[in-house]
Amino acid sequence: MPKVVVLRWGHRPRDQRLTTHVALTARALGASGIILAETSDQTVRRSVEKVVENWGGPFFIEENASVKDTVRRWRENGGIVVHLTAYGENIETSDVMDRIKASGRDVLVIVGSQKVPPEFFTEEISDFNVAIGNQPHSECSSLAVFLDRYFEGKELSKKFEGAKLMIIPQRRGKKVVKLSD
């Protein structure tokens, strides 16, 4: 299966919690890593690295990446770029997901945190502009729906390597077991 990496654009210091949630959503739902474009945030990095250390991986985080350089390198390595936007092709009413999967290529998923530049909608940046519905919504929710559709739910039973902790599903209550130190 091709790998999926998330490119987070527009992170601002006030976005730490949401960017952390985007990273954790990406990890939990099958992405291989997250790249923070044009910025660095040690609080986000530490949060993500702590989750990977305790709950397993692999999952990477990179910072200060140029969007254009990241897109160029991604394509040079044979990948495609998907921009999640409320203005794109509707994931439910179009065949956009079929076309993405049919490519058989690694996927770089761009999610913004603020208004993205118009060039993000062009072929210079995006191979696909995909909407999770065509209403305003959170980038975290759009990423979750996209990844679930992309991996067809299989990501929900993924086993994470090197996990020290694991949740034991049950009807009521909470049960977490320690796997190792």
**Residue-wise pLDDT tens digits, 41-75:** 899 999 999 999 999 999 999 999 999 999 999 99
Tokens 């490119």 map to which residue?
A: 7
pLDDT above 80 for 14: no
**To which CATH superfamily is domain 4-178 assigned?**
SPOUT methyltransferase, trefoil knot domain (3.40.1280.10)
Helix or strand holding residue 52 (H, E): helix 42-55
Task: Write down the pTM of the prediction.
Answer: 0.94
Q: DSSP alpha helices (H): ranges in the chain?
A: 16-28, 42-55, 67-76, 96-103, 139-151
The whole-chain average pLDDT of the chain stands at 94
Each domain of the chain, given as residue ranges in start order, spans: 4-178
